[in-house]
Structure 1
Amino acid sequence: MYFYTGRLTEKSDVYSFGVLLLELLTRKKPFSYISSEDEGLVSHFSTLFTQGNLPAILDPQVMEEGGSEMEEVAAIAVMCITLRGEDRPSMKKVEIKLEGTQASRGHEGDNVRNCPWTADGGRSEVLSRQYSMEEEFASSSRYPR
């Protein structure tokens, strides 16, 4: 956003967070992604979301593990990446929406397929060769961006 406006505002952080959500949902880097229509990741994601065609861009493992919440998280991401800062929600509203998404999931998260963690936080006996989204997020947070 700073590139477009030359100004940093509190809504610039919201935009950045939205781009981070896109990276997590798609597992694509915004600086190197170009669609077949010559769109960047942000605009292509918005276009596909509007068309109701999220499976075309979401990572298959993310879709499998995230289930129905992925559309809710994608909607939050789209709200965050709106070009006009005035149209973006505050970070507090984003937090509340994400907490609502997590709360609506309830305890069904304990039954996620291919997740090597048990409900009490221990390792399960059946391990997948893929990381769960939680493990991947935790491991990616250890590295500077």
Structure 2
Amino acid sequence: MCFYTGRLTEKSDVYSFGVLLLELLTRKKPFSYISSEDEGLVTHFSTLFTQGNLSEILDPQVLAEGGREMEEVAAIAAMCITLRGRPSMKQVEIRLEGTQASRGHEGGDIRKFSRTADGSRSGELSRQYSMEEEFALSSRYPR
């Protein structure tokens, strides 16, 4: 949006947040992604979202774990990257909170427990995170 208007606005922040959601959903970098149709990540995502073919661009792990929450986050991302009628950040926050609340519980523990020879439990960290856990972890670090 900054490119089109020459200035930063609150809506520019919403667009940037939408791009961040795209990165999390696709695990692709927007500055280096080019589709077979010669489209960038944002345009290609928008096209596939409109066609209902997000499985072509979403990360396989996100597809496997995402379910209803993934569909809602994809819809929020699509709203954020539109050029006209973009929501406010408060509206995005409310939709994200609604998605989390509809899930009915907090994210699970990323530790996998197994029994040792003496019967005690040992925790082993998994490198696979759910979408919610990955988003929470990525929000702790500045970009």
Q: TM-score, normalised by structure 1?
A: 0.81
Aligned residues: 133
SS in 2 for 1:125: strand
SS in 2 for 1:124: strand
Q: Which runs of 5+ in 2 are unaligned?
A: 115-123
Please, what is the CA RMSD of the aligned residues? 2.1
Larger radius of gyration: 2
Task: Give the aligned partner of residue 114 of structure 1.
Answer: none
Task: Give yes or no for the alignment of 1:61 onto 2:61.
Answer: yes
Letter in 1 for 2:60: P
Structure with greater strand share of residues: 2
Task: Give yes or no for the alignment of 1:41 onto 2:41.
Answer: yes
Aligned residue runs from structure 1 range 78-97, under 5 A = 78-84=78-84, 87-97=85-95
How big is the shift at 1:5? 1.8
CA distance in 2, matches of 1:141, 1:10: 19
How big is the shift at 1:134? 4.1
CA distance in 2, matches of 1:99, 1:140: 17
Task: Give the aligned partner of residue 13 of structure 1.
Answer: 13
CA distance in 1, matches of 2:4, 2:20: 18
Q: Which runs of 5+ in 1 are unaligned?
A: 111-116
Letter in 2 for 1:105: R
Task: Give the aligned partner of residue 125 of structure 1.
Answer: 113
CA distance in 1, matches of 2:127, 2:94: 33
Q: TM-score, normalised by structure 2?
A: 0.82
Tell me if the contact between 2:107 and 2:132 (Cα under 8 Å) persists in the aligned partners: no
Task: Report sequence identity in percent.
Answer: 86
How big is the shift at 1:20? 0.4
List, as ranges, runs of 4+ consecutive aligned residues in structure 1 with deviation greater than 2 Å.
107-110, 126-145
How big is the shift at 1:124? 3.4
CA distance in 1, matches of 2:92, 2:63: 21
Letter in 1 for 2:15: Y
SS in 2 for 1:30: coil
SS in 2 for 1:131: coil
Cα offsets for 1:92-143 (capped at 9, x unmatched): 0000011111111113855xxxxxx17xxxx330554523334433443454
CA distance in 2, matches of 1:39, 1:11: 23
Task: Give the aligned partner of residue 104 of structure 1.
Answer: 102
Letter in 2 for 1:79: M
